A and B are shown apart, each in its own frame.
Chain A
Amino acid sequence: MLKTFKNWILIGFASLILVACQQQGGGNSKKSKTLENTQKAGFVKCGVSQGLPGFSNADTAGNWSGIDVDVCRAVAAAVLGDADKVKYTPLSAKERFTALIAGEIDILSRNTTWTLSRDADIGLTFVGVNFYDGQGFMVRKNSGINSVNDFQSGISACTNTGTTTELNMRDFFNSKNISYEPIAFEKADEVVAAYDAGRCDTYTTDKSGLAAQRTKMSSPDDHKVLPETISKEPLGPVVRQGDAVWEDIVRWSLNVMIEAEEYGVNSSNASSLKDSENPQIKRLVGSEGELGSAFGLDNEWSLRIIEQVGNYGEIYEKHIASTGIMPDRGPNELWTKGGILYVAPAR
């Protein structure tokens, strides 16, 4: 009898512990849990691609660089004071959202297209756009195809699984009444290898991706990107839903880089502009206002971003333009210079 009683007490305790665990797991505080955890860990957990030159690519020593990488570096500079304190997790298109939702990473900066269903349906929040892109096609130069209108039924097209590309491709070929054979690989490298070997006649993905992957091919000059753009692909960083403060930190880290370019603040002149005449510049370099306190950060967070990472123009030049991927900024030019980069003011 006593034994049974003891056992019941044990079960009672076990259930209490379980309930307590749930309470903790389900708890929702007003402070940013992600920010706290990041500061405690000492690094920003950043999800990147498995290798896309210009966006997120690792060199032989394992150092990541690219404009997507720089978003994470900017956040690390803002919240930890050091842009290098980032832990990168390379993810396939298929894995990326699960990794973010499961908390394996805190920022997904992986040339990810902002769409309604991704933003609203699966517990994610897109914080902005760091590259305006569109889907295009690559073919061999000697193929005799000069425009998407030259495609004929029976064409085979290679692309990545789990991307908007797969959906756009279908919309496009259907509208042209062309039957096609889709071949979808998980890794970009596999897609490129298949296209290179002649398994498929055309390779389709975001135009920036095509330009970047072309540099990886055995003979880049044998291939060309067709002039047409068949979709809108606003690429930007993503965070989990439910942590508004963290969301704001990432959003404004990106915005500050774009606004810094607008006001001519760059990595070399930022600290000397502390006594500028222009109050907007002073806000950007942290000598006026208390902007950082809104996130629980100090006032020099934006100065650190500009000094350690640079403004948008600098990072574009460094990763995209000078590498020959897309020398022309096109829509990714400031709104004052004929592009569509227009961000809310940091004030």
Chain B
Amino acid sequence: MNLKFFSIDLKNKKRLIPQVLTLLSIVLAISYFAFNAQVNMNNRGIAFGFGFLTQEASFDIGFSLIDYDGSHSYARAFLVGLLNTLLVSVIGIFFATLIGVTVGIGRLSSNFLVAKFSEVYVEVFRNIPLLLQLFFWYFAALRALPLPEQAINFYDISYLTVKGWYVPKFIWTNFSIFIYSILAAIVAITFVSKHAKKQREEFGKHIPSFYIGIVLLFTFPALSFFIGGVTLDFEIPVLKQMSTTIFNFRGGVSIIPELMALAMALSMYTATFIAENVRAGILGIGKGQKEAAASIGLTNTQILKLVVLPQALRIIIPPTTNQYLNLTKNSSLAAAIAYPDIVLVFAGTALMQTGRAIEIVSITMGTYLLISLSISSFMNWYNQSVAIKEK
């Protein structure tokens, strides 16, 4: 035997052993739990399988983005819950970003009142547990709203009541044509801005691409109304008497108080963390950068747009991604106030009615994992697009 070969082989093996052992123990542990669960389920006569997903759900859900009633399947109920989770997450992320950026910039303001107000906002809202804030908005703030017969009236088209916020419903005809017109507008705007950039960089000619873009964004959809056969009607909610003292609004769209409370709590809480990210991002840009930019004659807006913001974004985006993920996962607190999200509908009611705890909990966990991974890969892509490009 070649001694040299052997020694190298042994060395490699030595390196390999801990790795193999770790892997093996992980596999063993997982199979142990799986086996254990299977044995216990067998002993107690619990069947395992995903067949229940096609069965009739036979429970109704109060708020749904798609057509659903109890005669649909559990799979459809899952989809309703998932869409409700996504809806509140998207609304939450939108408002959290809006408030967060405003407050973050506000904290750096030279205006004493604005800076102090922003600071107090951040300190108050980030130091109170989210669940308590949720309870505050739902049980204290929104429960104090009036009954439908004394609704807070917005110009006779929209009403705010304890049962929800009733807004007019849009009734479209040829809605797809309208969507195509917006897509066409976006394509045109991209083309114009690329052309404008080329003109500026190659010939030094300035084309007001921003204003052209706005004009385009309105012209295309407007055209779809005039020649595309698109029409838009409004269905305005009307107060209806249902018995001596029970009134309710019928028609229009009802934004349920559970959704409002959850979106408010999530966005106001997460906004504080985003605000701190924004502040950190802006403060992270050296003073010299701004001074250098000023010394070559850039205006304040240009400094912010061309020098500070592109660099600040690199600092802001990664921690903000975390906040978006947190917000999405925190939306599962919905169950506490009866907002029919995926946890309440699927991991709650559906689990109870079918008793398939292992299947349903693993589907729900997988779904959250998928949503989180999608958000973080999108944010990573965006982060890379603003990162320093080595040339």
Contacts and interface: CB of A to CB of B under 8 A. Distances in A.
Contact of A170 (B24, B44, B70): B70
A13 to B, nearest CB: 12
A263 to B, nearest CB: 36
A199 B163 contact: yes
Interface in B32-66: 32, 35-36, 39-41, 43-47, 58-62
Given A4-B13, A152-B242, A25 B60 contact: no
Given A182-B62, A199-B143, A97 B335 contact: no
Contacts, number: 152
A198 B145 CA distance: 10
A28 B69 CA distance: 43
Interface string A53-77: 0000000000000000000000000
B245 A140 contact: yes
A144 interface: yes
Given A25-B36, A166-B349, A199-B162, A145 B246 contact: yes
Nearest to A141: B245
B28 interface: yes
Contacts of A269: none
B17 A4 contact: yes
A242 B43 contact: yes
A145 B162 contact: no
A229 B47 CA distance: 34
B344 interface: yes
A183 interface: yes
Contact of B348 (A11, A94, A242): A94
B143 A197 contact: yes
B246 A155 contact: yes
A25 B349 contact: no
A231 B154 CA distance: 43
Contact of A184 (B45, B257, B344): B344
A302 to B, nearest CB: 29
A189 to B, nearest CB: 11
Given A161-B348, A163-B352, A184-B62, 5 more contacts: A93-B352, A121-B46, A121-B355, A123-B46, A182-B60
22 contacts: A4-B13, A11-B24, A21-B36, A117-B354, A121-B354, A150-B243, A152-B242, A155-B248, A156-B163, A161-B348, A162-B349, A162-B351, A166-B59, A166-B60, A166-B349, A183-B338, A186-B335, A198-B147, A201-B248, A240-B44, A241-B45, A242-B45
Interface of B: 10, 13-14, 17, 21, 24-25, 28, 32, 35-36, 39-41, 43-47, 58-62, 69-70, 139, 143, 147, 162-163, 240, 242-246, 248, 250, 257-258, 335-338, 340, 344, 348-349, 351-355, 357
